[in-house]
A and B are shown apart, each in its own frame.
Chain A
């Protein structure tokens, strides 16, 4: 079995293996990036099953487009860009309302947790998802990549195909919106804490 490391050069080697038709290469790339892309799509679409479909779609596209990867961006950025486009396509196609079904959020499975605590957690998650749903899709994309995936501005710019300045503006506006939203629900929030 070909073992791979975890750096950008290893990602490129994986893509090369996929280009050569190596199924294990595709499986390794999926194991490496599948969870992150699923989380990303889930937060953008707020629908777990659509996020799963999009994640599968991304990897199927990677297989058919591996030869198009030109090496200018990191493989990770290229994957997130494909996922961001797939999510946008999905939104356009389905005109899905940005309602956030809580079923999409896994319940805590920790034993010994009281039901009150779980309800509070649920309320908090609900508040966060409702706040995220207030953002424009563009702001949400930039914020999710920065906050949950820890991508630097320059990489977010590559993923979204915009300038670093535009990335900062989107995140700035997103944070401003969230700050106001959370301030409105501060009393509830504090009670939950």
Chain B
């Protein structure tokens, strides 16, 4: 081993990944080289020093909040209201019958020329015209003679109902917050919710409020976040909505979203006396020299309107 290889050997040793021969080489070299002994001490000291940076500990609030979020995400993924079980099963059975018939025909005739699927499909009823079967895969017969056919079914559904109906509220909440949607689709869902509840007189589903607050907090598109803030502003003020708006005011990167939050908080303060946290947040924004001028001015005029 040469002196220039010391750091590499030392790191291997510190991380417990040094091989026995290399360890032997290192120890032999250290015995003979005072310079490397001193250098090794410095490397080990540095490695050791990193240990004083204590691990971030998970707070109970964060833990519980995350567990709730995960539960919410899992629930969203499981929404069944819009893919009713019996219909799905019937469709799956129909498609399976169709495909099995095609497979059987192919086996019997050596080619897929004849359309054996047609009669089979007629017997059980064809899939709906707007539904398609794709991505089909087959598993050969098992010992019991059972084959398996896997496939995807896609289709279009129309759900009709009042936004207050639990099923429709769930659907809207899902559409407002679903991460894989385009921003445009998400904005349309928010607008629909906003136009329905915007009068401030109807009771809003908690699920929709949660979906909107989550969107306001997390959506990457500032336009969508701003729409979510505007929609929340139109609902009767609740602690959850106020908290989401205050968070947006404090943390959102986009001034338009912060401005919407200020305006919503100011409007709420006109209806009922503002709480301490709201006043403090507005005061902070009004005097923050790094804040956007519009946000600052709006926060100042909101405070003025409160007449402290």
Contacts and interface: CB of A to CB of B under 8 A. Distances in A.
A59 B180 contact: no
Contacts of A121: 52
Interface string B37-55: 0000011011101101111
Nearest to A128: B53
A183 B46 CA distance: 9
A23 B70 contact: yes
A124 B52 contact: yes
A39 interface: yes
Nearest to A49: B251
A182 B45 contact: yes
Contacts, number: 119
B contacts with A: majority SS: helix
Contact of A26 (B49, B50, B74): B74
Interface string A81-107: 000000000000010000000001110
B49 A60 contact: no
Interface size range on A against B: 35 or more
A148 B53 CA distance: 10
A35 B70 contact: no
Interface string A127-140: 11101100000000
Given A38-B58, A94-B253, A178-B50, A152 B69 contact: no
A178 B17 contact: no
B25 interface: no
B67 interface: yes
A175 B11 contact: yes
A42 B56 contact: yes
A27 interface: yes
A51 interface: yes
Interface in A107-149: 108, 121, 124-125, 127-129, 131-132, 146-148
Contacts of A182: 42, 45-46, 49
B74 A63 contact: yes
B53 A132 contact: yes
Nearest to A154: B17
A30 B70 contact: yes
B53 A129 contact: yes
A129 B49 CA distance: 11
B2 interface: no
Most chain A C-beta atoms within 10 Å of own C-beta, residue among B52, B67, B75: B52
A35 B71 contact: no
Nearest to A192: B52
Contacts of A70: none
A26 B56 CA distance: 22
Contacts of B75: 23
Contacts of B179: 60, 64
Contact of A189 (B47, B49, B73): B49
Contacts of A42: 56
B78 interface: yes
B46 A59 contact: no
A182 B218 CA distance: 39
Most chain A C-beta atoms within 10 Å of own C-beta, residue among B56, B62, B180, B218: B56
B52 A125 contact: yes
Contacts of A59: 66, 69-70
Given A23-B75, A64-B77, A35 B58 contact: yes
24 contacts: A26-B73, A27-B67, A30-B66, A30-B70, A38-B56, A42-B56, A43-B53, A53-B218, A55-B66, A63-B77, A64-B179, A104-B56, A106-B56, A108-B54, A131-B49, A147-B50, A152-B15, A152-B17, A153-B15, A168-B8, A172-B7, A176-B7, A178-B49, A178-B50
Shortest Cβ-Cβ A-B pairs, 9 listed: A42-B56, A23-B74, A128-B53, A178-B46, A26-B70, A124-B52, A39-B55, A179-B46, A21-B78
